[in-house]
Amino acid sequence: MTILVTGGAGFIGSNFIFHMMEAHPEDRIVCLDALTYAGNLSTLESVLDAGGFRFVKGDIADRDLVYSLFEEERPDVVVNFAAESHVDRSIEDPEIFLRTNIIGTSVLMDASRRCGVKRFHQVSTDEVYGDLPLDRPDLFFTEDTPLHTSSPYSSSKAGADLLVLAYHRTYGLPVTISRCSNNYGPYQFPEKLIPLMIINALSDRPLPVYGRGENVRDWLYVEDHCKAIDLIIHKGRVGQVYNIGGHNEMRNIDIVRLVLEELGKPESLITYVADRKGHDLRYAIDPAKMHSELGWLPETMFRDGIVKTIRWYLENESWWRPIISGEYMNYYDRMYSGKVKA
Ligand code: NAD
Ligand code: TYD
């Protein structure tokens, strides 16, 4: 079958392409990606010339381009990773989040209806549920937790989720949605917590921790997320939402300390900076449905995953070094110079 993967030049999408090409070599993969600041064609270098793979540069919100690609390729399955994905950028400038994450998703679903796509899978996030209090470790997000977003990013993802469910009910589009917790692993853009801390530590630059570093995230190794999506598109029930997470909650400050320890760098590099506006306190996923319905369980323990990830950044400086020049440095200076506490 032909699988259209949008956003496949980004972090999770590229890992998903690598996983699918290995697990299902008989399938054809078409990747549609606009190559925004977060998309990097060099990430896909190892598969660009492979048989059964095609890369197309384009915007998911460009209706003419999307319709003609669907007519040409007639995909059986669409997996939509394409998104603006960084909370801090959404706080700075929400508009592009609405265009890509909501309008883009609706254009892809219109094209999917026209072409009789057999499955439209929307890659969503646990952030659509808002946050949980720090002093109630007994509470988790289930698929029935009401949507209650905090940032322009999570609101745009929640808007897309509602549209996806509406296309299912109104037009009968065969959809599934997955809502995953925070991912880490190779090829993550260095604006996100773990790669940012690894790269700053390697360069002996300050490690900017928002607030007191007590916010909690539920971390999942990216390959486990990719395997879960593979299961959902093959065996998941149409119209259903699946939460993905590994019961691996960590405070930000503990992650930062672990990165420093692994790299043999001093804790004096930690710099507490002004908090993120509207900063979600705690995310924690209940992944029971993924386990009971689809038999999915995470395979990578956090300690192993973080060591593998750090090693990957150490061995792949040629991937991240060009990324942290130019536009990224302008972004970094803009975001972090304003955050430094007096
Ligand atoms: P990313 O920012 O690394 O990659 C996004 C990709 O989408 C990039 O390659 C970019 O070029 C592409 N893109 C952006 N706008 C586009 C457009 N208009 N048309 C076509 N392509 C476009 O993001 P990621 O971390 O890989 O996240 C992928 C998906 O997973 C997103 O939908 C995100 O909401 C979701 N998600 C991410 C996490 C996480 O921890 N990173 C957790 C749960 C869910
Ligand atoms: P991030 O990787 O942006 O993911 P998300 O906000 O989607 O969970 O941030 C993870 C956590 O790390 C979040 O609580 C914010 C915090 N953080 C910092 O403390 N410093 C930083 O420089 C960044 C980017 C994030």
Q: What is the distance between the alpha carbons of residues 109 and 169, in angstroms, rounded to a whole number? A: 13
pLDDT value, residue 257: 98
pLDDT > 70 fraction of the chain, expressed in percent and rounded: 99
Q: Which residue has the higher pLDDT, 72 or 338?
A: 72
Classify residue 306 by burial, with Cβ atoms within 10 Å: 0-12, 13-18, 19+. buried
| DSSP letter assigned to residue 236 | P
End-to-end CA gap in the chain: 57
Q: What is the mean pLDDT of the chain?
A: 97
CA atoms within 13 A on the CB side of 191: 24
Q: Spell out the residues 6+ positions from residue 261 whose beta carbon is closer than 8 angstroms to its own.
A: none
pLDDT value, residue 324: 87
| pLDDT tens profile 126-164 | 999 999 999 999 999 999 999 999 999 999 999 999 999
Q: What is the distance between the alpha carbons of residues 222 and 142, in angstroms, rounded to a whole number? A: 20
Q: How large is the C-alpha radius of gyration of the chain? A: 19
Q: What is the distance between the alpha carbons of residues 277 and 43, in angstroms, rounded to a whole number? A: 32
Which ligand 2 atom minimizes the distance to the CA of 210? 19
Region 267-271 average pLDDT: 98
pLDDT value, residue 154: 98
pLDDT value, residue 335: 85
| pLDDT tens profile 197-222 | 999 999 999 999 999 999 999 999 99
| pLDDT tens profile 26-73 | 999 999 999 999 999 999 999 999 999 999 999 999 999 999 999 999
Q: Where are the alpha helices (DSSP H) in the chain?
A: 11-23, 63-73, 87-92, 95-97, 105-115, 152-171, 193-202, 222-235, 252-263, 288-294, 302-315, 317-323, 327-337
Q: Nearest bound ligand to CA 271?
A: 2
Region 228-247 average pLDDT: 98
Is 26 a residue of the active site? no
Residue nearest to atom 17 of ligand 1 (CA): 59
| Res. 342: pLDDT tops 50 | no
Which ligand 1 atom minimizes the distance to the CA of 7? 7
| pLDDT tens profile 277-318 | 999 999 999 999 999 999 999 999 999 999 999 999 999 999
pLDDT value, residue 47: 97
Q: What is the distance between the alpha carbons of residues 60 and 213, in angstroms, rounded to a whole number? A: 36
Domains present along the chain, CATH in parentheses: 2-184+219-244 (3.40.50.720)
Region 312-336 average pLDDT: 89
Choosing from 33, 84, 131, 153, the catalytic residue is: 153
Residue 28 corresponds to which amino acid? R
Is 153 a residue of the active site? yes
pLDDT value, residue 340: 59
Distance 84 CA to ligand 2 centre (A): 15
| Res. 117: pLDDT tops 90 | yes
